[in-house]
Structure 1
């Protein structure tokens, strides 16, 4: 089985790349090359953030990572542990300064320095590709003097960029994992940075520093936690990766309303991907065979085949329609995969089958006919003109949250807000 997967703070004047030895010149050149690439892609748009990219040494924050290798068998991950800071190889630096997400942990807390040779596993932490990090800080509208709350310190690279722009005293970053927080704190100190780093549950925010002008989350959530809305000032901005339990994320930029529980905003263009926040991540699927072999199964033709589970926009819609469902694949006898949508919460499933004539059928079982729900949502979206994700928006009010397509008066789907936030 595989899963488809605020007081004014003056900006700093002194900080810059840490002195790390003979590799400094190469690292500086690679930062310049990266900045040029991000500008050409449209991720890096302002000279102020370009200066931050040129000054923050990513290799200090990602001294080790897992390199992915895909083959005929399962994906393997080879540890790439950097040499001593004074002996950074050119290949290591080139990998770190590529516009690539670098996986830093597998299966919870397995790190590159903990293993020898290629291993298999599921990524659980990463250093997000620089282009997305830069695009997020650009889109957040952060300016010098803004008080910023970052949810998810990770390696500390994005935290360092924020410090370059706003100053250390203006940046608060919350990290759930104590070991990651220690590594980030050490790396930040190496570069001369000392923001307010907190080890704790990021879903609770950091009320001691509120109100904030900007909140930037680097982990995906199924809904916007109430503490985040409470801790951002009226008119402030929240930049939040939103995702269900299917592999499709959307980056929504919200403006806090007059009241703490109110916010409105729109999704930003482009595909993004983030690790799920602790407490919002999908649980393991148990008893798949029982879900797929219920006696109440019924079969019919469908106009929507597996392709809708591969397209980014339709997958995002499907997880809105079936927020506790998962997309799984099992091998079929002919060497292909059978695609399943399963919902352990309701004991329901939908399996897509070829009909032998180029079309598809769907077998459904359980109290909820999942594919009926999916088709109803896709039909509503099609009647609305098939708006892409950049035309989606979100409204938060009265303890409820929903995503809408096309316009606030168009099709909308309420988000589950019963996920624990503590």
Structure 2
């Protein structure tokens, strides 16, 4: 199979000509790690639909695999490797093959040098692990994932390429063994697991993302067991760490209430309707200050109507509907007014000219608590 031209084209696309990652991406066969994947079928449901991808021919398959995009490999507990042609699954993704440019982006933030020991948190398909092992050597790379099928499949596929990094099946937020110069997480966390700080050498660097945000956190270990760093002027989004086969979200009853109830408050929104998860600065600031809010967004082209939903497990919900581009009518219920929280952040944005999360300094305590500071603004993530 002539996959090398596709890999070289991908390397040209995602890595600078002088980048150490360019020849590595060109040399690692991504198709060996993603033989099957789930394609989006319908996104507008609260639980989206996926269908097993079935490219028409080998060339189309390689074109898809070597495109710079994430490929969903697991929906809930259902891995694409075990699916049949035409099979459809409803639920949220639980694993993917991260788009290669994002892997390179995280590796760059880690300042990786030869001779370093790296903990790769979130094995997933194993492709990122393969890049690290090719770069540093087998003995320098440890990869961890909570899902036994993912680690076993990755182990087998890495071995087929002559790569034998150390793979661990465990909850990455629990006990972690070893000592590392770098920890690179392609899953998001909040707060930083205490055990990560315990296995990171003084002077070592941690690169991860904060759950429910698009914030990349980089931090260097201090001698006293704390870490200091910042939120990068950069963006990335990863799935949250999980301890089971699927994520536990807000109950269907809460979503039904957000769809159907009139609510205690009915007002007109102060600003045009926004799809919050697609507005990364706004979504990230909201996620820092008010974690646990889930979002859903729908468009009806026939009626020129857009609707955004916000729901929290404490029983708070909001539904904002805009017709013809007008400011939305907002229905809210429960103990908190979620849309008011959102509008408050948009007011801050207009008043200050920006939101404060990007570029914030970050101090991480020994227990993993993150304190963010930028100017007069600060927030603590526990």
Change (3 A) 1:302 1:65: closer
Q: Does 1:117 align with 2:86?
A: yes
Q: What's the CA shift for 1:317?
A: 1.6
After TM superposition, which residue ranges in structure 1, 4 or more long, deviate above 6 angstroms? 71-74, 292-296, 330-333
1:273 match: 237
Write the mapping of 1:279-298 to structure 2, written as runs, cut at 5 A. Answer: 279=243, 281=247, 283-288=249-254, 289-290=256-257, 297-298=264-265
Distance 2:112 2:17 in 1: 13
* CA gap 1:282/1:410 in 2 versus in 1, 3 angstroms: farther
Aligned-pair Cα RMSD in Å: 3.1
Correspondence for 2:183 among 212, 215, 218: 215
Q: How does 1:12-411 map to 2 (within 5 A)?
A: 23=1, 26-39=2-15, 44=16, 46-69=18-41, 75-80=49-54, 89-122=58-91, 123-204=93-174, 206-207=176-177, 209-210=178-179, 212-244=180-212, 248-270=213-235, 272-279=236-243, 281=247, 283-288=249-254, 289-290=256-257, 297-307=264-274, 309=276, 310-329=278-297, 336-345=305-314, 347-354=315-322, 358-387=326-355, 390-397=358-365, 399=367, 400-404=369-373, 407=374, 409-411=375-377
Cα separation, partners in 2 of 1:277 and 1:237, compared to 1, 3 Å: same
Distance 1:156 1:223, change over 3 A: same
Shift of residue 183, structure 1, vs aligned partner: 0.8
Partner Cα separation in structure 2 for residue 137 and residue 258 of structure 1: 24
Contact 1:79 1:115 in 2 (8 A): no
Flag the 1:46–1:384 CA change in 2: closer, same or farther, 3 A.
farther
Q: Is the 8 A contact 1:64 1:104 kept in 2?
A: yes
Secondary structure of 2:119 counterpart: strand
| Structure 2: runs of 5 or more not aligned | none
Deviation digits for residues 206-253 of structure 1, max 9, x if unmatched? Answer: 22x12x110001112232111112221222111102222xxx422221
Bigger mean CA offset, 255-264 vs 188-197: 255-264
Contact 2:197 2:366 in 1 (8 A): no
Q: Distance in 2 between matches of 1:356 and 1:94?
A: 39
Shift of 1:381: 4.1
Q: Find the aligned partners of 2:169 and 2:54 in 1 and give their Cα distance.
A: 27
Give the TM-score normalised by the residue count of structure 2.
0.86
| CA offsets 1:324-379 (integer angstroms, 9 cap, x no match) | 2111357899573432212122x212222449992234333222222333333333
Q: Is the 8 A contact 2:305 2:322 kept in 1?
A: no
Aligned partners of 1:79 and 1:118 also within 8 Å: no
Task: Return closer, same or farther for 1:278/1:142 CA change in 2, 3 Å cut-off.
Answer: same
Residue segments in structure 1 that go unaligned for 5+ positions in a row: 1-22, 83-87, 418-422
